[in-house]
Amino acid sequence: NAGVTQTPKFRILKIGQSMTLQCTQDMNHNYMYWYRQDPGMGLKLIYYSVGAGITDKGEVPNGYNVSRSTTEDFPLRLELAAPSQTSVYFCASSLRRATSTDTQYFGPGTRLTVL
């Protein structure tokens, strides 16, 4: 079991460039999440997905897009990179039983710098 994997680990983008952050989990989890972490700000939820084909916005979705074509993969797309998107991005997943709150498992993160 690899758990939650993210690629790339590091990336530098120029303003206006696009890229996709990849996230894959092999735990057959239904729920997946994308967070960004800025210094001293904790984690903010960007988008989440409750299953293949279903996604919804989190707290800070502007400038990002997601898709969930399979249970395993949940890529995050940046269309026009801006310096404000410089951050560390974490993907997470949870099994999510019907009425309980399940533990979220996190990937190692992608450190993105936009210059």
Partner 1 sequence: SQELEQSPQSLIVQEGKNLTINCTSSKTLYGLYWYKQKYGEGLIFLMMLQKGGEEKSHEKITAKLDEKKQQSSLHITASQPSHAGIYLCGAGANAGGTSYGKLTFGQGTILTVHP
Angle subtended at Cα 19 by Cα 88 and Cα 110, rounded to the nearest 5 degrees: 20
Contact flag: residue 11 with partner 1 (CB under 8 A): no
Rank residues 17 and 73 by Cβ distance to partner 1 and give the closer one: 73
| Chain-centre distance for alpha carbon 100 | 22
Residue 49's contacts (CB-CB under 8 Å, 6 or more residues apart) are 31, 32, 33, 55, 56, 66, 68, 74
Rank residues 49 and 85 by Cβ distance to partner 1 and give the closer one: 49
Per-residue binding string, partner 1, 20-59, x by CB under 8 A, is -----------x-x-x----xxxxxx--x-x-----x-xx
Spatial CA neighbour of 71 closest among 43, 50, 44, 99: 50
Count the Cβ atoms, other than its own, within 10 Å of residue 49. 20
Indicate which single residue of 7, 70, 102, 113 sits in contact with partner 1 (rule: CB under 8 A).
Answer: 102
Indicate which single residue of 14, 109, 112, 115 sits in contact with partner 1 (rule: CB under 8 A).
Answer: 109
What does the binding site for partner 1 look like in residue numbers (CB under 8 A)?
4, 31, 33, 35, 40-45, 48, 50, 56, 58-59, 90, 92, 94, 96, 98-99, 101-109, 111
